[in-house]
Chain A
Amino acid sequence: MVNGLARFAWRSLRARPLRTALSIVGIALGVAVLFAALVTDAGIQAGVGRTVDDVMGRSDLRVGAFEEKGLSASSLSAIRSAPGVAIADPVLEQRTYLQRDALTTADSTAAAYAPPITVIGIDPTIDGTATGLHDLQLASGQGLSPTSTTDVLVPAGLARDLGLGAGDTLTILGLNGPVPYRVVGLLSGAGPDPTSEGRGVVVSLAASTALFGDRGATWVDVGLAAGATVDGVVVALEQRLTFEPFVLTDRADLAASLGASTAGFEALTALIAAVTLFGGAFLIFNTLSMTLSERVREIGLLRAAGTTRRQVHRLVLIQALILGVSGSILGLVLGLAMSVVIARTVGSLGDSGVPIDGPVVPPLGVALAALVGILVTLAAALEPAIQAGRISPIEALRPAHVRRHSLVSQLRWLAAVVVTVGVAGLALWPIALGPFGLGGGATGNAGIIRPLVVYAVLLVVTMLTPLILGPLGRLASLPFALFLPAEARLSRGSLARDRKRTALTVGALTIGLAMIVALGGLAGSAHAATDAWLTDVIPGDLVATSIRPIAAGEGVAQQLAAVPGVATVSPIARFAVAFRGVRVDAAAVAGSDLATDGRLTFVAGDRRAALTALDAGGSTIVPQAVADEFGLKVGDTLDLPVGGGEAVEERIVGIVARGLPGQSGESVLIGWSDATSHFGVLGADAFAIRFVPGRMAAAQAGLASAARGLALEPTPISGIASAINDAFGRLFSLFDALALLAVLIAGLGIVNTLTMNVYERVREIGILRAAGMTRRQVWRMVVVEAGTMGVAGALLGCLAGVILGFALGGVAGLGGPGSGPTIPWLTIVLAAAFGIGIAMLAAFQPARIASRISIVRAVQFE
């Protein structure tokens, strides 16, 4: 009997090829986004693993310097002599700039913002050798000579950008001006330090010391002796390293930290995948419901002929299975193609914090994506199957009619699908990804709870849709009623015919548009936060960065201040402190400059008193994010170790909304006197320069020239902002593209619903035509019907999207620090226009069918 049922189910699907194809495409798109997200996230996890390998090489532990002066020779000796240490490999890393022929700092666009390069000084007797901790893979040329101080290795990509080859000269800005180096080899890939974004050039330790002055290693990588453990060596090092503060990082720490930075991306892709699949489920449910209402009489006949309820259930579920399996297979293929595009897009973002080399198909991912697709399809089919089972043999004798469903059954179905998608997603996602799982361990809450909140919002909105459909439909048809009153009246009636079907169709559109609006809000928050951050904390229009610490006594600030048009010059140094065993970014700033310039938004503490206290010493101002992380308040004291087993107490005198950007978060602010006397800060590594109001354009060229003369690289704040916003823009374009797919699925749903609406009222359309309605009027009536659904979906979607935007705000830092909720008006207008446009476009074919209905056949149609 199952074979017979399967044949029947298959023939029933074949009888409506358009509807069947649309449903398969709908579920395929859902599965595709899910699978693409899985493959992308697996690619990211592989990228994290690869990055850990690249960063750590064969080392087990990294001893990092806190202070600019680096780790002293005494520390290096202590590390080398510690029990369990086989190899200690020092690296000196410093950011600097390549010599440029002409500085175009008058240009405030992002193009004028020249990315710095990183000079990585290594010991050629250790690295690049068979026993060393890091491999230097050469694309061409040769390695560094241990004795040479003029050789440089350049990543192949950078060499290509700069038009360099082996034997050419690369001039690097050093402490004492430009120094020429000979390119002896090209490195394959990004080079030895993946954090340098492919702009890390490698020289010998001797060469880097010559370039940047005599300073210690930025870090020392440690290879363990046979039998030694990481924990044992950590204990030994903590006992022996008393010369200056340091931070220890093992491979797991690094993986966790990288994993945390990708959590937001993964959470968002997972969420979009779930939402898209949800839209696909709507489509399937609608398809099966429509097929059912068309075949009531047929099923009644089957029941009269002795088919049991269970067999009818099976018939509907077999249809769902056919749709689910076909859609899932197609979805896997589409998803793989999609993941390649995503990997390329993410890969092109540069410093996005999301490492990915390419898509990686996780072993279980294929099976699980397909399984979720099939499960969701079957869940969507449950209610139609139950309804089909309830059809009595007597139905075969009645004229065709529209079956009405209770509100309870609508809500029951919605809840079933949502719970299935949610539970399946949460259960299967981590398994499919392997050891890391959703959002990594460290940020599990941010990774899972926020998407769940979003899911709940979508659920509430979609469940409310059937309840408010009446007033919503009247409101949505208003714009059409102004110009096409007859068509608007008739189409509104048609939408009220099967409220559940209309509600589901509108619901699918709603959630797709809600995602677009939410992402728009998030992107807006990120942009606003970037701009606010930069303008709120930096006391200048432009930042001139130095490759070396510039001491106050050198008079550089005074020389810059002497440039005509410059109002103020404020020195800034970025460094790190250790607090409660954790590395915290810190910045040395002049409180008086910040007070004069009106920077920093205080959320606690007295502004004037706090900034005065900062300069006096013994005080610190912490950003809200750091205060929240550690549970700090004004009046608390930070005990900050400074080496030699000693610690300095810094009392919190103020909490600010945003702090200066640091390496891995926001920086605590410390006065210059404490920074130099306690934390090893030798001088400013940047100067914030404020121009006299209205004179920036005229003064910029003069300042650029002066800065260059002082070996400084000037960058306008607007340049930094546009570079960051550009990266955000590309990232959000990717998410938008994924969310657009959800709207596309909703469009397919509209095609399905309208086609069904047309087929169900063939006779009515015949009557209207017989009563004098033109083909064009019929066409317009169906298009207005779609437009009304589009407007309804847009109204609800935009509203839900704004709410979602608030709920999603700041998912794992995507919104940026201190980002407040933003209502993305432009996105709302564009999303609404897109949704209404897609809806009306989807009406094209059904409207065509409707307008071509033969009156004679229609009035004979039963």
Chain B
Amino acid sequence: MAIAAPILEARDLTKRYAFGDTTVDALRGVSLTVQPGEFVALMGSSGSGKSTLLHILGGLDKPTSGEVVLGGETISGLGDDAATRLRRDRTGFVFQFFNLIPLLDAAENVGLPFTIAGQDPRNGEAADRIRDVFELVDLGGKEHHRPDQLSAGEQQRVAIARALVNRPSIVLADEPTGNLDFTTGGEILEALWRSCAKRGQTIVLVTHDAKAAAYADRVEVIQDGVIRDEIVLGRRDDHAAAPLIARLAQLGL
């Protein structure tokens, strides 16, 4: 079987922060490959460097050394304008806190990438795509609700819809369930998984929660700025966390 070209490749990434005389190495030589349509979880404890890695993979931040290649193009050295275009057209982000613009309704929030690009999200293909992602995240009928009229889970699903609406090469989710209860968190992960399973959306998820990581095809365990281990779970419908937890226990995590 021919192996597809990776959609995302990180090569020997390091990230060093300087605080006066003190320096902190958040990443110390991380290499990673993500295949198209794959759901990868980056797992680790607080301060392990997983969020830093995610920010660099999505072009929000730059590595101190190493490079990131997305769809065959090196993105780690892009200037601000090029990085902005990249975020608008080729990546989608979901953050931990409910990152919606409170004064815009759900549909307007989802249509932000179109609005920013100067397109009218109420007409044409943009409107079709917005309708489509609303169905995908199971929020039909809530298009014109403002964020404060939605539950926490619904707000996060709107954020997912916004990340997906532009059909990006990759969606990067940073602890999207970190602020939610178990049931609501499950709905979010289901939505992400559906987009991966049904639409072939590539997803990189950062989490410290094994139950969330269990939705992924593959889990990369990060500790002290390096990838300590890789756990391959494969595509499963049941999302059972037990095998992953057992494996983590074996590793002493």
Interface residues of A (CB under 8 A from B): 485-486, 489-490, 493-494, 496-497, 763-764, 766-775, 777, 855-856, 859, 862
Contacts and interface: CB of A to CB of B under 8 A. Distances in A.
Given A486-B118, A772-B117, A764 B84 contact: no
Given A493-B104, A855-B60, A859-B95, A777 B116 contact: yes
* Smallest CB-CB A-B distances: 4 pairs: A772-B88, A493-B103, A767-B99, A486-B115
B181 interface: no
B73 interface: no
A856 B118 contact: no
B112 to A, nearest CB: 5
A433 B60 CA distance: 64
A763 B103 contact: no
Given A485-B118, A486-B116, A856-B55, A771 B103 contact: no
Contact of B93 (A486, A771, A777): A771
What class of interface size applies to chain B in its complex with A?
20 to 34
Given A497-B103, A859-B99, A771 B60 contact: no
B162 A771 contact: yes
9 contacts: A485-B115, A493-B104, A766-B99, A767-B100, A767-B112, A771-B113, A772-B117, A774-B84, A777-B116
B171 to A, nearest CB: 12
Contacts of A485: 115, 118
Nearest to B162: A771
Given A493-B104, A496-B103, A497-B103, A771 B116 contact: yes
A764 B93 CA distance: 13
Given A855-B60, A859-B95, A772 B116 contact: yes
B116 A763 contact: no
Contacts of A775: 80, 84
A766 to B, nearest CB: 8
Contacts of A774: 80-81, 84
Given A493-B101, A763-B99, A770 B93 contact: yes
A483 to B, nearest CB: 11
Given A770-B60, A859-B95, A490 B88 contact: no
A771 B116 CA distance: 8
A767 B101 contact: yes
B84 A768 contact: no
Given A769-B84, A770-B58, A772-B84, 20 more contacts: A486-B115, A766-B99, A768-B101, A768-B112, A770-B60, A770-B87, A770-B99, A771-B162, A772-B87, A772-B88, A772-B89, A772-B113, A774-B80, A855-B60, A855-B61, A856-B55, A859-B93, A859-B99, A859-B174, A862-B97
B85 interface: yes
Nearest to A765: B101
A859 B58 CA distance: 14
Contacts of B87: 769-772
Contacts of A768: 101, 112, 116
Contacts of A490: 101, 104, 115
A771 B104 CA distance: 15
B151 to A, nearest CB: 16
Nearest to A772: B88
Nearest to A493: B103
A364 to B, nearest CB: 50
A496 B102 CA distance: 11
A11 B108 CA distance: 41
B54 to A, nearest CB: 10
A770 B99 CA distance: 10
A770 B174 CA distance: 13
A855 B93 CA distance: 11
A470 B163 CA distance: 31
A763 B97 contact: yes
Nearest to B172: A770
Given A769-B84, A771-B88, A772-B85, A856 B103 contact: no
Contacts of B93: 770-771, 859
B167 to A, nearest CB: 13
A764, A772, A859 — most chain B CB neighbours (10 Å):
A772
Contacts of A493: 101, 103-104
A456 to B, nearest CB: 35
Nearest to B163: A771
A773 B99 contact: no
Contacts of A497: 102-103
A496 B146 CA distance: 14
Nearest to B108: A489
A496 B103 CA distance: 8
B78 to A, nearest CB: 13
Contacts of B104: 490, 493
A856 B60 contact: yes
B118 A773 contact: no
Nearest to A484: B118
Contacts of B55: 856
Contacts of B61: 855-856
Contacts of A769: 84, 87
A369 to B, nearest CB: 42
Contacts of A494: 103
Nearest to A770: B93
A758 to B, nearest CB: 14
Nearest to B103: A493
Contacts of A772: 84-85, 87-89, 113, 116-117
